[in-house]
Structure 1
Amino acid sequence: MKNINIIFQSKEKPGSLKFASILVLILVCMSSCKKYLDIVPDNVATIDNAFTLRNEAQKYLFTCYSFLPKDGDPITNPGYMAGDEIWSNIEEREFISPSWRIARGNQNSDSPLMDMWNGLNQGGGGLYRAIRTCNIFLENVQDLSKVSDLKLDERQRWIAEVKFLKAYYNYLLLRMYGPIPIVDKNLDLDATQEEVRIKRMPFDQCVDYVSNLLDEAIPNLPVIITDRTNELGRITRPIALAIKAKLLLTAASPLFNGNSDYAGFRDKDGIALFNAVYDANKWVKAAEAAKAAITAAEGAGFKLYTFPGSQFKLSDTTTLQLTIRGSLTERVAQNPEHVWANSNSLAVFLQQVAMPRLMKGTDPIPVGVARQQLAPPIKIAEMFYTKNGVPINEDKTLDFSNRYSLRKAVKAERFYIKEGYTTARLNFDREPRFYADLAFDGATWYKYDSPSTSDENTFTVEAKSTQLAGANNFGWYNETGYFVKKVVDWNMTQSGSGATYRTYAWPEIRLADLYLMYAEAKNETLSSPSSEVYEYINRIRTRAGLQSIETSWTNYATNPTKYTTKDGMRSIVQQERLIEMAFEGSRFWDILRWKRAAEMFNQPITAWSVTQPDEQSYYRVRTVVNQNFVAPRDYLWPIRSYDLTVNPKLVQNPGW
């Protein structure tokens, strides 16, 4: 479980990833243990041998960890491209993303994409297989007659870790499928056919089950990792509390809390799988859980990241951008914001497909140094605030009604946009996170190997069709004219023959995420926002170089009292979350749980005319595709049709 702090030379993305597949839940329950021995390290001959000595049992512990999704890869992260945040080009050159095919309306029930239930179609190893593996571990390690050389305190910690993992895998299933079958213990090999046909449990009961598992795990988890050389990435108490907060926030959200669309959703025995009555107390529980997670994280030393400086002379503007980018990309050993950095998932390929070509000679053949395939639509660029910290359509001092017109950058803007360069008005007068997270035609892109050794006269993205980062290389081009700068570590270096990316463990939980969760939940428990709600949002805004909510809205917004109402603050919190968590795989799940997907995923995906060579033709808005999100069907993943045939007690999600 070591955190790998090394420098990677970029390589070609391997061909299609190969994952083991399994049958549906009923077959999982009926199969013998020996079927799964391929996942026990070192070819341990039997399950009994796997739990005779500490060293072998520890290998099985790490097997339980091995199912953690590799969310730092945009292909294997199920929510990274399933919504509207990132687009790509239709050629899919060495970048075949099933989740992006979901975004284009290709999800189905015969062979579901990103099928994490079974582990099919880029669904990883299958979460029910992961749960079964955890059950095997718990059954054996909880037996004090086994693993005789395992000390009691270490035994308790390992049990707690696997209870957490089991809870987390169930949470991921809940988030995708809603009500799920609960497999708390593996069935005996001689179980009857009736016993192995397990039903889906009502959603609220599933939430209680996962929450209770986390509560059982939390007391025996370490507060911090002391052996950072060997144990970074293993589960701690703040991590478990953070996932409990995420679980309860999801359960409190409109998709799962009083959703009338699911009022008639029942199993074959007539039992309702959702409670269609709104429960305000769910928000109270979510707020309490988020506050507990914050208290634990801050008590363990976690805090918002700030860039510590470098040997180079940098402007305050660039230093702030490196703070914002570093909150995601700075490696865990130097990053106090990463409450949970998943060392099972390293962000290497993600950086390659985000990176534009910035210098001559860096053609992506043969090492794929800068494929520039991740492309946020124009509406994502429009989502970020103005420099005054309010939405572009609410700023009374800046006019964005002509945002697609052209404007030339002046010297004072050179750390954002190349001096003298003409680009869209949309790209001017924006908040620091806009320039830290995104790049565009004319944008500056400072990194370690800057030719000037400073942020003066540094790299610039030039993205018209005849320019270096333009759409002129089959399949390796940017579809929209916006590039994802946020995910690329600033230590990335290029040469005429290749590139070096400094990798980092993917942060599953940042402290900023916890602050946002608490502000959202707390606002829902009140009749009007409190100073505490403002405080936790303002901590993030201050780090992002913005004034407080109160100051920004009072002085610059067309509706200066918006932040004083519960509904107004809900809108502010949601936009703040979409901005702060941009390009981290959060937006898709947030929009689903807010029950806003029918609104937001049915808007056209628009882009600049990237195949054009000059300013006037390039800066014409075009529609790439009109998305089609079908509600309520698309809010939940389909269960594979074959699973319903094998297990007649299962029912399909509505609309599928």
Structure 2
Amino acid sequence: MKKINIILLLVISLTSLSCKKYLDVVPAEFATEEDVFTNINLTEQALARLYNALPNDLGSDISAYTDETYHQWFDNAGGIDAYKYNLGSWSNTDNPIGNWAGKYQDIRRANIFIQNIDAVPIPLNRADYYGIWKPRYKAEARFIRAQFYFELFKRYGAVPLVTEKTVVDPSDIENTMVFRNSVDEIVSFIVSECDGIVNDLPLTHESAQIGRITKGAALALKSRTLLYAASPLFNGNPLYAGIRNSDGKALFNATYDREKWKRAADAAKQVIDLGIYALYNPFPTNPVQNYAAQFYTRDYSETILPRILTNSTTYDGNHLPNGPPFKGSAKLTPLQEFVDAFEMSNGIPINEPGSGYQINGTWNGQLWDGLKFSAATGLSNMYRNRDPRFYATVFFQYSLWRFDANKRGIKLAWWGGGNGQTDGWATGKAGTSPWGYNVRKFLSPEYDRNAGTGTARRNFPIFRLAEIYLNYAEAMNEYLDQPDVRVYDYINRVRQRVSMPALPVISSDNSKAGMRNRIQNERRIELAFEGSRFWDVRRWMIAKRVDNMPVNVLNARPSAAELTATGLNITSEAAGLAVFYKPVVIQNRVFTDKHYLMPIPQNEMDKDPNLVQNLGW
């Protein structure tokens, strides 16, 4: 094998297209590719590096880029990046989550691995072991490369398809020029890779190997890819009809194809029919815990592909309330629009007749505090009898967390003298802004931040069965003229896990459009804070409505005049509560047609005249 010096690799990386960058495939202490692919141990390290590039949206802040949350950290990189997206000020030279160059670097590493793994020598005394594992390693790398292409596809649509490592003279500029492949070609490649590797992958792994790619993971990637491909953004979207390569090749199919929904449904059913996954359901009599615990334990019953994470309390520290008993940083505030998306426990949306939703008044009752049910008082009727997932996902005024240790409910309304206080970190640099909620999902009650005891043991679910059920329900609803039992069955399985009523509940649930709204909202609730909403609102092409509007929180930073008008002691908690429960605009968000797809980075366009830009950029 030709040796490639690391210095030469770096030189070429600076002079070539990012999608043909010649970057090292292994840590810098190894000087050549030959070092890696003549030593099986180093080859395994190269594969581990590919695994490390799989997605992990836990703590990624992507929920603040859409209509789930608002980022409170004005001076934090994640907060600044969220504001760019929220205000429409990101661009083809400043796209915080575009990652074009990074993904093509990852793809190059995968290509090198795939092309060389077969020839890696194996010690004779390990021949039987690697006779099984080498084909798996290759299949795993092909999956990971397909996942990388999915990451590019959902961002850019049509992208260059590079599947080989081609060593060229860096001065040979012509051979570093590439065209974009069409959306249909990218989707076909991802799907064909998933189909091509599925027989080389096991159904399950022994415990020491959990986190590796399985048949289910390959089929889940196929399911997600085909669902996106069938969605309005990519299926008959007239906005992109004019985007063509210089040779006239259309990059987006402007003709709607209903059969794409059937292919997406069939792919989801392939995962379901494996019969080895089950919705996480250890607490059937406690629907809040039945949902919540999945996200702070290492679940392997529902999770199809986990991103294995080390024990860590960083996420907890960032998202727990800020007050003295909790000592967190209250990083993200769920928006009122997100809170309002949770149905009532009778299955009726809050704005529908018969829901029973009330804005005024309070109630007392038992709330799950993460460890047990405890008595809570003074709760707003806004939060009474809601979908159990609400209580597992969002902290609200006087909700509970480890009540025995913290001794009081969470206080997110203004209270106290001077500059005022809340547990929602509405003081300090962001002190002129109102808040009202904190993120609860994924937090571990095993960890007592106040006492400094315990830890958090969780993974990030790259794919889980609930998503596959919802994929199937959505695809079948779009394929059929009106929903039937196949649609209702799979969305109801997800709802049943949290004791929510089976659909249909209201008359509109019997129509295709009505069920579309239900399914979209079910994904919004079930997959909250898992990185799904950002992409869903784009592929459904509803982002111009939901991300192009003022967004609201609650009035946790009232003015002195508001407090005085209550007639109460203006330093009292009662005064803060009297003006708290009203929506307050925290940001006027901007989303236009050009934001549905990301722009190809301008530096890539400058280097390669064969690349054509996405709409509006």
| TM class by smaller structure | 0.7 to 0.9
The CA distance in 2 between the partners of 1:378 and 1:516, in whole Å, is 24
Matches within 5 A, 1:480-491: 480-491=435-446
- Which of residues 200, 209, 212 in structure 1 aligns to 2:192? 212
In the alignment, structure 2 segments of 5+ residues that lack a partner are 1-9, 416-420, 559-572
Question: Aligned in 2, Cα 1:533/1:145: closer, same or farther, shift over 3 Å?
Answer: same
Q: Does 1:523 align with 2:513?
A: no
- Select which of 532, 536, 561 maps to 2:486: 532
- Which residue identity is paired with 1:258? G
Residue of structure 2 aligned with 1:432, choices 360, 363, 388? 388
Q: Which residue of 2 aligns with 1:51?
A: 37
Identify which of 256, 259, 262 aligns with 2:240.
262
Q: Which of 515, 529, 548 matches 1:583?
A: 529
- For structure 1, list consecutive stretches of 5 or more residues without a partner in the other structure: 1-19, 119-125, 310-315, 364-369, 554-559
1:27 partner amino acid: L
Residue number in structure 2 paired with 1:451: 404
Out of 222, 235, 243, the position equivalent to 1:244 is: 222
Q: Does the CA contact (< 8 Å) of 1:88 and 1:479 recur in 2? A: no
| Whole-angstrom distance in 1 between the partners of 2:586 and 2:404 | 36
Are 2:17 and 1:27 aligned?
A: yes
> Residue 542 of structure 1 aligns with which residue?
496
Q: How much has 1:492 moved relative to structure 2?
A: 2.2
Give the TM-score normalised by structure 1.
Answer: 0.82
Q: Give the partner amino acid of 1:179.
A: A
SS in structure 2 of the partner of residue 383 of structure 1: coil
Counterparts in 2 of 1:5-404, with a 5 A limit? 26-28=16-18, 32=22, 36-37=23-24, 40-41=26-27, 43-75=29-61, 79-89=62-72, 91-93=74-76, 96=79, 98-118=81-101, 126-143=102-119, 151-190=130-169, 192-226=172-206, 228-229=207-208, 231-296=209-274, 299-300=275-276, 302-307=277-282, 319-332=286-299, 335-343=300-308, 348-357=313-322, 359-360=324-325, 363=327, 370-400=328-358, 403=359
Kept in 1, the 8 Å contact 2:155–2:597? The answer is yes
What do residues 456-514 of structure 1 show as CA deviations (whole Å, max 9, x unaligned)? x9652112233551445425889521111112122221335x46441311111111111
- 1:610 is paired with a residue of what secondary structure? coil
* Residue identity in the other structure for 2:243: F
CA–CA separation in structure 1 for the residues paired with 2:557 and 2:11:
41
8 A Cα contact 1:52 1:147, kept in partner: no
Assess, with a 3 A threshold, how the Cα gap between structure 1 residues 590 and 393 changes in structure 2: closer, same or farther.
same
Q: Judging changes above 3 Å, is the alpha-carbon distance between structure 1 residues 26 and 269 closer, same or farther for their aligned structure 2 residues?
A: farther
Deviation at 1:422, TM superposition (A): 5.0
Identity of aligned residues (%): 30
1:624 maps onto 2:586 in alignment: yes
Change (3 A) 1:157 1:473: same
Which whole-Å deviations, capped at 9, do the CAs of 1:125-152 have from their partners, x for residues lacking one? x110000000111111133768886633
Per the TM alignment, residue 396 of structure 1 is displaced from its structure 2 partner at its CA by 1.6
Letter of the 1:80 partner, please give it. S
Q: TM-score, normalised by structure 2?
A: 0.87
The amino acid that maps onto 2:232 is P
Whole-angstrom CA distance in 2 between matches of 1:568 and 1:472:
38
Q: Which amino acid aligns with 1:321?
A: V
**Deviation for aligned residue 1:345:** 7.8
SS of equivalent to 2:205:
coil
**SS of the residue aligned with 1:80?**
helix
Asked if 1 retains the 8 angstrom alpha-carbon contact of 2:231 and 2:539, the reply is yes
Please state whether the residue corresponding to 1:274 is helix, strand or coil: coil
268 and 23 in structure 1: CA distance in 2 versus 1, 3 angstrom threshold: farther
Change in 2 beyond 3 A, CA 1:166/1:520: same
Matched, 1:653 2:592: no
Q: What corresponds to 1:10 in structure 2? A: none
Question: 1:546-582: CA deviations, max 9, x gaps?
Answer: 12113xx1xxxxxx32222222211111111111111
Number of residue pairs matched by the alignment: 579
1:73–1:345 Cα contact (<8 Å) kept:
no
Q: For the residues of structure 1 that align with 2:158 and 2:88, how far apart are their CA atoms? A: 23
CA distance in 2, matches of 1:85, 1:25: 40
CA deviation after TM superposition for structure 1 residue 189, in Å:
2.1
1:394 to 1:359, Cα distance in 2 relative to 1, 3 A: same
In structure 2, the CA distance between the partners of 1:288 and 1:458, relative to structure 1 (3 Å rule), is farther
Q: In 2 relative to 1, CA 375–426 (structure 1 residues): closer, same or farther, beyond 3 Å?
A: same
- The one-letter code of the counterpart of 1:58 is E
CA gap 1:25/1:152 in 2 versus in 1, 3 angstroms: farther
Aligned residues of 1:597 and 1:629 also touching (Cα < 8 A):
yes
- How big is each residue's C-alpha offset from its partner over 1:434-472, in whole Å with a ceiling of 9 and x where there is no partner? 112111112123x4xx418xxxx9652112233551445
**Change in 2 beyond 3 A, CA 1:470/1:272:** closer
Opposite residue 205 of structure 1, the aligned amino acid is: E
Task: Provide the alpha-carbon RMSD of the alignment.
Answer: 2.7
Q: Tell whether the 8 Å contact from 1:375 to 1:479 is kept in structure 2 after alignment.
A: no
Q: 2-side partners of 1:219 and 1:254: how far apart?
A: 32
What is the Cα deviation at residue 96 of structure 1? 4.0
Question: In the alignment, which residue of structure 2 is the partner of 1:4?
Answer: none
Deviates more, 1:467-476 or 1:45-54: 467-476
Q: Is the 8 A contact 1:305 1:327 kept in 2?
A: yes
Correspondence 1:464 to 2:429: no
Q: Is the 8 A contact 2:243 2:251 kept in 1?
A: yes
1:585 Cα shift?
1.2
Native 8 Å contact 2:296 2:456 kept in 1: no
What is the CA-CA distance between 1:413 and the residue it aligns to?
7.0
- Could you say which residue in structure 2 is the equivalent of 1:611? 557
Separation of aligned partners in 1, 2:99 and 2:595? 16
CA distance in 1: counterparts of 2:282 and 2:391, whole angstroms: 16
1:54-92 per-residue CA deviation (whole Å, 9 max, x = no partner) reads: 2121111112212223322224xxx43221211022533
Aligned residue number for residue 15 of structure 1: none
> Which amino acid in structure 1 is aligned with residue 46 of structure 2?
Y
Structure 1 SS opposite 2:211:
coil
TM-superposed deviation, 1:409: 1.4
